[in-house]
Structure 1
Amino acid sequence: MPPGYGLLRRVVLLVAWLVWGFTIYGEEKVPKEGPLIVAANHRRFFDPLFVCMAVPRRIQWMAKKEIFLPPLRPVFRILGAFPVDRSGGGHSALRVALKHLAAGKALGIFPEGTRRRHEDLESAKSGVALLAARSGARVVPVYVGPVPSPLARLRGERFRAYIGDAITLPKDLRGRRELQLAAREVLKEIYELPRREGGDDG
């Protein structure tokens, strides 16, 4: 883990704990090495940062190349984001993602594809299953809960993140339907995490 990333993570973790009582459940379940797909729910713009706080490995994130402007480029680099040209469809992004996984890195992905306030298993996109099947990487489900309001914090509510056991998807997944069903199971596992711990899934 690059020094800049580790320092940034520790600072943000401290601030999040002081402000929101940020608590991580299951941090020990994250494999320390090897290719990994970190799959999380997505409700806010800053979710990549929150997932990075929860997971004790540097995560690579795909981001459209248009946002890599000079003022923010160093920040994106520290966070592990890499630019993807979306003009040619998803093939370029898939190749780059598989390259990172082949190098033994951890790749962050949101199976829902876009931000959603509530659980919707039908929104699962097949990308997470396709990447897992082609790379052989395990999938670690992560659920990031709602950020408590100041009033909720006074009542003792905390900002929580839950990490589940690594999932191994079959390598022989074929066709859109099989991939879609596998992705749906991953998303279902993500939303089950806080319920098992007795937390609030918001």
Structure 2
Amino acid sequence: MTFYDFARSVVYGVFKPLYRVEVIGRENIPLEGGVLLCSNHINNFDPIIVGMMASRPVHFMAKEELFTVPILGKLVPHLNAFPVKRGMSDREALRKGLAILKEGKVLGLFPEGTRSKTGELGKGLAGAGFFALRTDAEIVPCAVVGPYKPLRKLKIVYGKPISMEAVRKSKGSAEEATELIMEEIRKLLDEHK
């Protein structure tokens, strides 16, 4: 058993009953090939819950600072996370993300770039659109519908893959692609409130 599998069993054993996690649309994640999984971000537990409830292992970009925290810094790489420098264009993290998608794996992103303090969906950064337009990966929107309160229902909703065909045909920008992704996340949030 890998550490990732062990962590998944802990999440199922602790988080799922504690937050009464309901998972919707897991079948929308393609079983093979590159997948860009884009979710809203309302809590520090989002990467754990979104990643561990998915039908396939998910690789997340995580803020560089997490890798310097004692103990946690040693565990994070075993949870398929890799560092990203926030607030600047981190070419190494972009290359790593592209490589994950081209290897046919799942890359998880929070397009807002940071947690929402209000719970409302914020503006997405161009990074999600960059990955969407630079690869043939399927783009799957995801919504975390809170709150994270013990014994209150928490929903993780994986939406149907989004087509980038219209953005590609019009030679659209990464920002436009991100807006399309954010719109689909917004629809999932509205539908499952």
Asked if TM exceeds 0.5, the reply is: yes
Q: Which residue of 1 aligns with 2:121?
A: 119
What is the RMSD computed on CA atoms of the aligned residues? 2.4
User: 1:51-62 alignment to 2 at 5 Å?
Assistant: 51-62=50-61
Give unmatched runs, 5+ long, in structure 2. none
Match of residue 103 from structure 2:
103
Q: Is the 8 A contact 2:140 2:158 kept in 1?
A: yes
Structure 2 residue 175 is matched with structure 1 residue 180: yes
Tell me, yes or no, if the aligned pair for 2:84 and 2:90 is still in contact at 8 Å.
Answer: no
**Identical aligned residues as a percent:** 32
Task: Give secondary structure in 2 for the equivalent of 1:166.
Answer: coil
Q: TM-score, normalised by structure 1?
A: 0.82
Name which one, 1 or 2, has greater alpha-carbon Rg: 1
User: How many angstroms does 1:148 deviate by?
Assistant: 4.8
Q: Report if aligned partners of 2:132, 2:177 keep a CA contact under 8 Å in 1.
A: no
1:115-154 equivalent positions in 2, closer than 5 A: 115-116=115-116, 117-120=119-122, 123-150=123-150, 153=151
List gaps (5 residues or longer) in structure 1.
none
User: 1:129 touches 1:169 (CA, 8 Å); kept in 2?
Assistant: no
Distance 1:30 1:124 in 2: 21
CA drift at 1:36 = 0.8
- Of stretches 75-84 and 137-146 in structure 1, the one that deviates more from structure 2 is 75-84
Residue 13 of structure 1 contacts residue 22 of structure 1 at CA under 8 Å; is this kept in 2?
no
Residues 87 and 11 (structure 1), Cα distance of their counterparts in 2 relative to 1, 3 Å cut: closer
> Residues 112 and 84 of structure 1: is their aligned pair in 2 closer, same or farther, counting only changes over 3 Å?
closer
Spell out the pairing of 1:7-22 with structure 2 (5 A cutoff). 7-22=6-21
Tell me which amino acid in the other structure corresponds to 1:119. Answer: L
| TM-score, with structure 2 as normaliser | 0.85
**Post-superposition shift, 1:169?**
1.5
Cα displacement (A) at 1:173: 7.0
In the other structure, the counterpart of 1:93 is 93
Distance 1:191 1:87 in 2: 24
Q: Determine if contact 1:64/1:86 at 8 Å carries over to the other structure.
A: yes
